[in-house]
A and B are shown apart, each in its own frame.
Chain A
Amino acid sequence: MEKKAAFNSKVLPYLLLAPSSLIILIFLFYPALETFRLSAYRTDAFGFRKMFVGFDNFSELLVSPDYGKALVVTFFFTLWVVVIGLSVSLALAVLANQKVRGIRFYRTAMIWPYALSTAIAGAIWAFLFDPSAGVLNYFFSIAFNFKPKWLTSQELALGVIVATTVWKNLGYNIVFFLAGLQNVPEQLKEAAALDGANSWKIFWRITFVLLSPITFFLLIMNVIHAFFDTFGMIEVMTQGGPARATNILIYNLYRSAFVNHDVGTASAESIFIFILVMFVTLVQFRTAGRRVHYQ
């Protein structure tokens, strides 16, 4: 596996790995396998009897219009978060890659919202979008002469969640794009400039191409963030509403498991999420090798 296995000891490596392995076995593998088992059972309404139902929990989810809507909402939510989030972050990272006085301060001032939680981001943006107290509606009414009810409108609520998530992820994305930009060899850009390429061409033909491994890594990470980390934000801002317009998969799972106490359905939902995560992770592993060249 690698070059520098150095020490010889029969026992020590196992001792070193014992804490990590124990926790992984007890709190990760065992519950994950248990999810598969529970997904094949249904508990009656009083929680007394468990019935084996095979794949019924899965097939019921697949034909449920509510779950279908959760899938669609999650898809579009993730799509917008990735497309808008990565474009904005890349533009800002290019700015942050300038060599000017005070650059350290500028960089910090651009990425610090990284340290905020999604619940706190949600609370702040819920205030900004508040129909009567929020400043955004004030600016909107001046500019466009209308005051939408952002979070209670089916069309707009998801947009608000997307905007909040994009804002919240900016710091993380900028850090990685910036690292990628700093690893683009200067000589390459200088050579292209000598050959008469303008800076627009240099960016898209050289920088952007060399950046693609980082872009891909961030794409994966943003998908994962959108799937899972948004829970606190949704809980604070919309609770999945209005009319399930912001009811993404993780929120639906939480409601099935801990509001409706429907263990079988919730476990089946967990398995669907597992399949999505597995797919995303495998794609990442397959392409991870390419990333090493540029680091």
Chain B
Amino acid sequence: MAGQNLFASRILIHLSFWAVILLISSPVLFALIVSTQSPVEVFSYPPKLTPSGHFENYVEVWNTIPLARMFFNSMLISVLVTVGKIIISLLAAFAFTFFEFRGKNLLFFLTLVTLMLPLPVRIVPLFELIADLGKTVSPHLGIDSYFALVVPFLASATGTFLFRQHFLTVPSELLDAAKIDGCGPMRFLFLILLPLSWNAIGAMVVIQFVFVWNEYLWPLVATHSEDMRVIQIGVKMLINAESANNWGVIMAGVMMAMLPPLLVFFLLQDSFMRGFAFMKEK
């Protein structure tokens, strides 16, 4: 009797999981289905809830917006910011954790303060600064440049704190042993700390790649030419271009635009969960 009840409650738990997952995923599943339908099917009543074979929607996206160029831009920016941010915040966290120096508290405090300065707090002067750099120094630093999309975002308080938090968990015996063996600071960083930090780095890769790929406001403001637009703006352009609300084509574009960050997430999900929220392994 007790065994049967246990069995029944197990089944109930599994069913709840499937119900929840179906509910959470259903918007994207509907979008996926519609991306294969013709306009007639999209607007049919009652709605057609099964996929169709109109993959020309995906081709239509390529003909409507410069998808390849936008993909390239988004990819380049996301990779550069992710890698650059991780290197820069690893170095900063290393200095904050393993060194004693004049002005340390001040620099740490200044890093902390940046948490209060999200883009909206400084967007107007940042735009003017970038525009001025483009006019007076070089167009490669101005509006419509990769510099404008990448460099202002390379410093990260979040990254510095995440890595510092992680470094603080490294046992001090390890450090003592390394020093006795005559290991210098940079060797210690690269040969001992780095191999211990893959979960934290993996988490940062997911957080930053997803963040940069999905960023909307700054790319909208800092680029004007179609050549420099990113894929998020492309989604909006697609909606504007398909004025008859040809949802099949729009959803086909959406499906392609969401793929890279999803891939990064699925590949690194274990590191993401452990390193991000300091989750225990169970």
Contact = CB atoms under 8 A, between A and B. Distances in A.
Contacts of B185: 7, 9, 12
A271 to B, nearest CB: 8
B123 interface: yes
A-B residue pairs, 3 tightest by C-beta: A117-B214, A232-B216, A34-B125
A115 B276 CA distance: 14
Contacts, number: 283
Interface in B177-205: 179, 184-186, 188
Which secondary structure dominates chain B's binding surface?
Answer: helix
Contact of A35 (B122, B152, B257, B280): B122
A4 B30 CA distance: 53
Contact of B99 (A5, A20, A257, A274): A5
A274 B235 CA distance: 30
Given A17-B96, A267-B124, 6 more contacts: A16-B95, A20-B92, A21-B107, A27-B153, A120-B235, A175-B276
A2 B97 contact: yes
A171 to B, nearest CB: 9
A120 B254 contact: yes
A183 B16 CA distance: 24
B127 to A, nearest CB: 8
Interface string A17-47: 1011101101111111011001000000000
Interface stretch (A59-67, A125-133, A198-206): A125-133
Interface in B94-114: 94-101, 104-105, 107-108, 110-111, 114
B152 A127 contact: no
7 contacts: A16-B91, A23-B88, A113-B28, A116-B214, A117-B213, A167-B27, A175-B272
B155 A20 contact: yes
Interface stretch (A68-76, A78-86, A104-112, A153-161): A104-112
A228 B119 contact: yes
A124 B105 contact: no
Interface in B1-46: 10, 13-14, 16-17, 20-21, 24-25, 27-28, 30-31, 34, 42-43, 45-46
Interface residues of B, number: 102
Interface in B226-282: 232, 235-236, 239, 245, 247, 250-251, 254, 257-258, 261-262, 264-266, 269, 272-273, 276-280, 282
A131 to B, nearest CB: 10
Contacts of B46: 138
A227 B217 CA distance: 13
